[in-house]
Structure 1
């Protein structure tokens, strides 16, 4: 009888021990699942932070791009025309202009001026606004300079600005095409643009009759 009680007691102990282990195992599994879920959430949060950072970076780059475009859009291009005619082709140096004139058989028009000279600036505006001059100028090799030329043949009656001189393809400076002022033969005022236009036509006419 005692053996029977003992067997039952041992069986109960074994069952209790098994239940305790099983409960602990389930608890560990639950903790492991919670930990995995926490890790998953952390990974999602990091991914979201990464995407947000990339998004901000992209927005920043876009803003920089727009700023660069705006700056480029407001920047005025620098050309050899210096405002005398942006749609005309201008030479960079006197030597280049002479070479181009000789090989194209077109007369050269040299404009000597200064950016800080009010007379030069006034003539420039009148020259650029005169449609007939701008159209006829396509038949010339054009050069405008803001310094005194090294070729003494261009000095003619002295150094002054504004000054417009014509040179034919044979490299002869046309001193016989002056303006109307006796003290400065090759200068022009804004109201002299019609005379300048006629002198341009004269330079083309002499090219046809003399060369």
Structure 2
């Protein structure tokens, strides 16, 4: 028995509805990878280029998909309205798993994860921008959003506001 035009249209509509529901779930993470899809994330290469071109500092999160501490930080980071607001002052990059850069400058005090580093617009890791409330053995480890916010504010002060004062002279 041949299918009617209405039956075919209905089956196509159901298929499209299923795709509309399933595809966003599959690709929801995108470059946010759980750290917040409402943040304008870049790949490392694109981020370094944009940072240089716009003379804007870069914030880099290095994490692994299997890491418990990384998984615990993601919702805290993503749910922070302060982080979202401050992210606009930075080129935001997060690298996961095999994307982690091999250059030793990205492991200033070890290769633990997660690490959050701040880079100036020349691509230099600013090693003085650390989690001041954290463990001195793991200076770039952040277990919660409040310490990330504090470091983002300090990085903005050091890398943006001080630069603006020099530009005005």
- Give the Cα separation in 2 of the matches to 1:205 and 1:98: 20
- Give the Cα separation in 2 of the matches to 1:151 and 1:97: 16
Task: Return 5+ residue gaps in structure 2 as ranges.
Answer: none
- Give the Cα separation in 2 of the matches to 1:117 and 1:126: 15
Alignment partner, residue 95 of structure 1: 45
Aligned residues: 155
Q: Which has the larger radius of gyration?
A: 1
Aligned counterpart for 1:130 among listed residues 70, 76, 80: 80
Asked if 1:82 is matched to 2:33, the reply is yes
Structure 1 residue 151, shift from structure 2 partner: 2.3
CA-based RMSD of the aligned residues comes to 1.7
- Give the Cα separation in 1 of the matches to 2:10 and 2:76: 42
TM-score under structure 1 length normalisation: 0.68
TM-score under structure 2 length normalisation: 0.84
Higher helix share: 1
**Deviation sequence 1:25-83 (CA, Å, 0-9, x none):** xxxxxxxxxxxxxxxxxxxxxxxxxxx94xx3313312321221222222223411112
- How does 1:37-48 map onto structure 2 within 5 Å? none
Alignment partner, residue 125 of structure 2: 173
Alignment partner, residue 58 of structure 2: 108
Aligned counterpart for 1:185 among listed residues 139, 148, 169: 139
Would you identify which runs of 4 or more consecutive aligned residues in structure 1 move more than 3 Å? none
Task: Return 5+ residue gaps in structure 1 as ranges.
Answer: 1-51
SS at match of 1:176: coil
- How does 1:1-211 map onto structure 2 within 5 Å? 53=2, 56-75=3-22, 76=25, 77-78=27-28, 79-92=30-43, 94-147=44-97, 148-179=100-131, 180-190=134-144, 193-207=145-159, 208-210=161-163
Structure 1 residue 176, shift from structure 2 partner: 0.3
Alignment partner, residue 25 of structure 1: none
